[in-house]
Amino acid sequence: MRRIRISKPVSLLCSLLVVIALISLAIQSVTFNPKTYSNLKNKELVFEVVSYLENTNGLDPNIFNEREISHMRDVKNITLWLRSVMYALLIVIIALSLFIEKKEYIKILKRGAVITLGFGLIIGILVLIKFEWFFLQLHYLLFTNMLWMLNARTDMLVRLFPESFFRILSVKIVFLFLMYSIILYVAAKVIERKKIKQ
Tens of pLDDT, residues 4-52: 788 888 999 999 999 999 999 999 999 999 999 999 999 999 999 999 9
pLDDT surpassing 80 at residue 1: no
Average pLDDT, the chain: 92
Contacts of 15 (CB under 8 A, 6+ apart): 108, 109, 111, 112, 115
Identify which has the larger pLDDT, 178 or 57: 178
Number of Cβ within 10 Å of residue 148's Cβ equals 19
What residues does each domain of the chain span?
8-42+76-138+163-192
Is 0.75 topped by the overall pTM?
yes
DSSP 41: S
The answer to whether 148 and 87 have CB atoms below 8 angstroms apart is: no
DSSP 34: G
Short-list 18, 23, 17, CA closest to 124: 23
Tell me how far apart the alpha carbons of residues 37 and 30 are, in angstroms, rounded to a whole number.
Answer: 10
Q: How confident is the model at residue 57 (pLDDT cuts 50, 70, 90)?
A: confident
One-letter amino acid at 56 equals T
Q: For residue range 132-169, what is the model confidence (pLDDT) as tens digits?
A: 999 999 999 999 999 999 998 999 999 999 999 999 99
The answer to whether 183 and 22 have CB atoms below 8 angstroms apart is: no
Looking at the chain, how many residues does it have?
Answer: 198
Counting runs of H as helices and runs of E as strands, what totals does the chain give? 7, 0
Short-list 172, 146, 150, 117, CA closest to 49: 150
Q: Report residue 4: phi and psi, to 5°.
A: -90, 140
Q: What is the rounded end-to-end Cα distance, in angstroms, of the chain?
A: 19
